[in-house]
Structure 1
Amino acid sequence: MGFDKNLKQLATQLVRDCVAITRVELLNESVGSFKKQGWDGKPWAKRKNDKDAGRGILIGKGSGQLWRSLRTDSRGLDIRAFSDKPYAQAHNKGFVGQVVQNVPEHQRHNIKSMRVSQTSLKSRKTYTIKKKVVGSISTVRAHQRKQNIKLPKRQFLGYTVNLGNRMKTQMEARFNELFNNV
């Protein structure tokens, strides 16, 4: 009876360890895709308007909110990786459609250019320069802005063969570690 109980405990421990290995590897694969700027060996589509050459494709330039929002969850043997950001699915699967943005009420400062005369203290010459001055302030009412957007697919969540091979190797190592002591 003692052997059966010990075997049951080892099997339960192995299942727990396999779930933990899967969660860690899923998260590592997803975060790694941001660092590699690609998925499963294929690079992501380049940015259409690349004015800032140092900016990453999905990483942004220092915000990193999307990749930091990646989490894993497990219920029994059901394991999933997800993000709580509303735009994560659009980037992961691609999106073509219309987006409605709610613009809050705000103040608009209308800037005017004025010519101002200044006298240099050192040379005692008078110069005329252009100076920007706030002309008037107007209130913009809250409204909605509609935009047609086409986001290419830049996958960062999912299963790859490489991920499966890494999980299999680690699970086999854990299996051998647990059952070699029996």
Structure 2
Amino acid sequence: MVKTRDIVVGGLLAAVAILIPLLFANTPLMVHIPPFSATIASHVPILLSITISPAVAVFTGVVSGLGFVLKTSPVIGARALMHAIFGGVGAYAYKRGMPFYMILLMTAPLHGLLEALVVLPFGFSLNQAFVAVGIGTVLHHLVDSAITLVVYNALTRLSLVKVSHHLR
């Protein structure tokens, strides 16, 4: 059963997920070297949504993807839609008790692989897909994971995010 609190927190994370591309895309806060792009903190909402539930993580990933489709391009939007997949996998692992920091590390290569694969139908080479997008995405994921851990620790102290029982 979905809790009202989870719906509210999920809605807030989804709102932030769509605001990031709407406000930061095509500004100095976004690096764009096609087919790679990185918008600062764009993964923070999806990474935090992992701690709520798989449904909230998937929803937040889809909303993030829609935001990037609206503000940037179909390629960047398709890449952002991959957040729904790695977010759902990460949330399932969190629900099963895996420590959050391990989930952040585990989902980085999955995230990079998914984003590399999704750009191939747009005509990019294997080199562009796997080197520029795949490796670039993993590095961007890790930077945003560091930001997420700071926010996560603050939210757990305020009891706004439930802590996986293996963390403390």
- TM (norm. structure 2) is 0.32
Q: Which has the larger radius of gyration?
A: 1
Higher RCO (Cα < 8 Å, 6 or more apart) = 1
- TM (norm. structure 1) is 0.30
Looking at secondary structure, tell me which structure has more strand per residue. Answer: 1
Looking at secondary structure, tell me which structure has more helix per residue. Answer: 2
